[in-house]
Chains A and B, each alone.
Chain A
Amino acid sequence: MDLLAPAEAAARISDGATVALGRPPALGLVRELIRQGRRDLDLVGVPTGDIAIELLIAAGCARSVHSSGVDLGEHGQAPAFARAVETGALRVTDSTCPALLMALQAGASGIPWTPVPGLIGSDLMTRRPDIRIFEGLALVPALTPEFALVHARRADPQGNAVIETAYDDRLLIQAARTVIMSVAEVRPGAVDTLTRGEQVVPAAYVDVLTVVPYEDRAAATAGYLESIAVHVR
Chain B
Amino acid sequence: MAAVISRRLLDGERVGVGVNSAIPTAAVLLARATHAPNLRLRLPGRPEGELFLGSKEFFDMAQRGKIDVFFLSGVQIDRRARINLHVLGDYARPRRRFAGAFGSAVLYPLIPRVILFRAEHSPRTLVESVDFVTAAGTPDCLVTPKALLTFGDGELELAAYSPGESVDSVREATGWPLRVRGDVRETPAPSAEELGILRGSVRAATA
Closest B residue, CB atoms, query A95 = B101
Are B108's CB and A223's CB within 8 A?
no
Report A84-128 residues with CB < 8 Å from chain B CB.
Answer: 85-86, 88, 94-99, 101-102, 105, 116-124, 127
19 pairs of residues in contact across A and B, judged by CB atoms under 8 Å: A48-B102, A68-B103, A86-B93, A86-B95, A94-B101, A96-B106, A101-B56, A117-B106, A118-B110, A121-B133, A122-B135, A123-B133, A124-B101, A124-B105, A127-B91, A166-B55, A167-B55, A171-B54, A224-B47
> Could you tell me if B85 and A118 are in contact, using CB atoms closer than 8 angstroms?
no
Whether A73 pairs with B96 at a CB distance below 8 angstroms is: no
Distance (whole angstroms) from the CB of B159 to the closest CB of chain A: 24
A105–B56 alpha-carbon span in the complex (Å): 10
B contact residues, range:
35 or more
Chain A 166-210 interface residues, beta-carbon cutoff 8 Å to B: 166-171, 196-197, 199
- Which residues of B (1-48) have their CB < 8 Å from a CB of A? 19-20, 45-47
Chain A residue numbers with a CB within 8 Å of B97 are 81-82, 85-86
- Residue A157 at the chain B interface, CB threshold 8 Å: no
Interface size for chain A: under 10, 10 to 19, 20 to 34, or 35 or more residues?
Answer: 35 or more
Do A196 and B51 form a contact, CB below 8 Å, given A48-B100, A68-B100? yes
Within 8 A of A (CB), among B54-109: 54-56, 59, 62-63, 85-86, 91, 93-109
Q: How close is B186's CB to chain A, nearest CB, in angstroms?
A: 34
Contact B102 A97 (CB under 8 A): yes
